[in-house]
Structure 1
Amino acid sequence: MTLYSKIIGTGSFLPPRRVTNEALSAQLAEKGIETSDEWIVSRSGISARHYADPDMQSSDMAVIAARRALEMAGCAANDVDLILLATSTPDYFGGFPSTACVVQNKLGITNHSAAVDIQAVCSGFVYGLSMADSFIRTGMHKKVLVIGSEVFSRILNFEDRTTCVLFGDGAGAVLMSASEEPGLLATKLHADGSQAGILCVPGSVNAGAIAGSAFLHMDGQAVFKLAVSVLEKVAHETLNAAGMQSSDVDWLIPHQANIRIMQGTAKKLGLPPEKMVVTVDQHGNTSAASIPLALDKAMRDGRIKPGHIVLMEGVGGGFTWGAALARM
């Protein structure tokens, strides 16, 4: 019997603290930094974002999103035999132990299932889907939690209005299961390390101190130009691998980074705006969490129905990018 993988549950979580553009602009004005709701919306499409409280970690948000995905799927935590957690903001400095291991413990999973973090920044969730699909198809694992969870508010420089207004915190998760029918139809992943400098946190640790900057740095124009180009190409590449065309797509869920990048991608694929799931206006760029957050919202409000073809694609620091095509 040929094995396939299928998404059988989705879940998400946004921290309660919602910060509107007006509130953020007022906060920045106290530091002498001028911005406004109109300025932010016109450049990004973002109206609000959510920030985690100081005592909330990536793992805490991931656990809530994962439990909701398990509940939708009707599965117990100990049914999970692999956790893949995409994050650029892990619980522990240095990234170990992995946040995936922390999540395993907080979920109460006692079966000693595998758990590992994925670092592909905003593309991390798509990377996770592809990896989970491969593990399931080989028969190595049967039920895989793929999670994206970020607290980007911790690495933002609130004296740099070009970046601090764009990002937010949140988590999204899916439970993938072995299936006799195709669910994940195709995935394609790419990276270009020569572009590492255009989106990064350019700091390192030396003798217990930070050398360089611990804040996010972004060359917005370079990222925009590269993102639009690679997202169109990887979408066509993934569709071709599945023997489909863009006209077969019911829903496009791009990484929720910037509405102009998203609209540009949809236009190049010949997809009308009403076929694109948009949540960037309400939670900003949540990096690896943005695609599963948008997917869960569209699943729970009934837009995505069983059998629908969903194209998910992400692009992020590294430079990394990828796409996944799924039949829900």
Structure 2
Amino acid sequence: MPHTHARLAGVTVHLPEAVRSTTETEHRVAASSAGFRPPPGLVHRLTGVERLHTMPDDWQASDLAAAAARKLLAETGTDPGSIDLLIFAAASQDMIEPATSHMVADQLDLRCPVFDVKNACNSVLNALETAHALIAQGSYRRVLVACGESPSRAVRWSVPDLRTYLSAIPGYTMSDAGAALLVEASDEPGVLGSGFTADSRSWSVGTLASGGSAHPRGDEHTYFRLDGVGLRRAFEQLGPQILDDTLERLGVGWQDMAAICVHQVSKPYLDQLADRFGLPLDKITVTVTEHGNTAAASLPLQLVRARESGRAEVGDLVALVGLAGGISMGMSVIRL
């Protein structure tokens, strides 16, 4: 008989010990660039990011995911042999082929089915939706979602001019991080539901173009490019309708949430988004200033911080609001 309910049984993050401040980033760009010097403090003024995490040189995205997953299995007392499915969910990946989930499963000594879910910074949120659906239809009882984000490998250090520097700034704010979520069948609903939308006409406002059929080779395509104004305009045009509709369908409101986790690109944009979409700032745990933009690991990181601070406890409702390049937007509501 299909299991109609799923719950979030655990969530962890792994943040690399090495930290790089935005000031150190500016110094490195200056040392690597002939004739160009970054305006002092510009990255911090534009984004609010003070520092971020960088993984060891010999690590890959799969290492970050596996580190978080090991911590999760230990904290929850879960036997790796009881995992029915592993989903690797991240904007990053070790290589084009095979799926990074295989590398993670190999490190964890798992023998279950695996696959990747990739949708930029909404990858974990879409993986949660996928796990919920697969458990609800009875295909699996226990799903491990593992995320490893390694954007430090796509940073442009040699910059010829200010225009290039401005387009490269997203790379200077993105942090390496791992995250893991355990989703399992339950008698009572834990994951209440999700809702998503997209405006794929805006896919070109933010890209990391290398490695696919469009640009299989060439260093110039290995760096982040972002039209910040275009991205904000795209999300503003999309509007909060999908969030409002999802809350109405589930019969809850923002005031019912103990915590609201929102993907965080920068502190100024988080403030603008909260005002535009009617999100109560006092329910949002800000992580982007101290940890940078951790891509798809952002929502798990905020949820962990909310639980550590006592803001969100067992039985509480939390909302996970995702924003991603492409562009896509969505949310999940969970009772812890």
Question: Structure 1-normalised TM-score?
Answer: 0.91
Say yes or no: does 1:263 pair with 2:264: no
1:276 to 272, 279, 284: 284
Query: Which of 43, 46, 49 is the matching residue for 1:46?
Result: 49
Does the aligned pair in 1 maintain the 2:64–2:147 contact within 8 Å? no
Distance change in 2, residues 1:251/1:269 (3 Å):
farther
Structure 1 range deviating more: 16-25 or 270-279: 270-279
Alignment equivalent of 1:59, drawn from 59, 62, 66: 62
User: Match of 1:165?
Assistant: 172
Equivalent residue letter for 1:19:
R
Alpha-carbon distance in 2 for matches of 1:211, 1:79: 43
1:197 aligned onto 2:204:
yes
The CA distance in 1 between the partners of 2:140 and 2:234, in whole Å, is: 35
The match for 1:126 is 125
Give the distance between the partners of 2:311 and 2:273, measured in 1 at CA.
21
Structure 1 residue ranges (4+ consecutive) displaced by more than 6 angstroms after TM superposition: none
**2-structure distance, mates of 1:44, 1:263:** 11
Q: Distance in 2 between matches of 1:314 and 1:208?
A: 29
Contact 1:41/1:47 (CA < 8 Å) preserved in 2? yes
Does residue 303 of structure 2 align to residue 295 of structure 1?
yes
When normalised by structure 2's length, the TM-score is: 0.89
Q: How many aligned positions are there?
A: 323
**1:58, 1:234 → 2: CA distance?**
31
CA contact (8 A) 1:21 1:48 kept: yes
| 2:173 counterpart SS class | coil
Contact 2:199 2:328 in 1 (8 A): yes
Is 1:10–1:175's contact at 8 Å kept on the other side of the alignment?
yes
- Rounded Cα–Cα distance in structure 2 between residues aligned with 1:230 and 1:74: 42
Q: Which is worse superposed, 61-70 or 231-240?
A: 231-240
Partner AA of 2:175 in structure 1: G
Per-residue deviation at 1:269?
Answer: 4.6
TM-superposed deviation, 1:175: 0.4
Q: Comparing 276-285 with 187-196, which one deviates more in the overlay?
A: 187-196
Pairs within 5 Å for 1:1-328: 3-30=4-31, 31=33, 32-37=36-41, 39-92=42-95, 94=96, 96-110=97-111, 113-158=112-157, 159=159, 160-161=165-166, 162-203=169-210, 204-205=212-213, 209-210=217-218, 213-228=221-236, 230=238, 232-328=240-336
Checking the alignment, whether the CA contact within 8 Å between 1:12 and 1:65 is kept in structure 2 is yes
Q: Structure 1 residue 40: deviation in Å?
A: 2.4
Match of 2:162 in 1: none
Unpaired runs of 5+ residues, structure 1, are none
Task: Give, in angstroms, the shift of residue 211 of structure 1.
Answer: 8.7
Change over 3 Å in CA distance of 1:228–1:312 after alignment to 2: farther
2:302 match: secondary structure = helix
Q: How far did 1:294 drift?
A: 1.7
Structure (1 or 2) with the greater strand fraction: 1
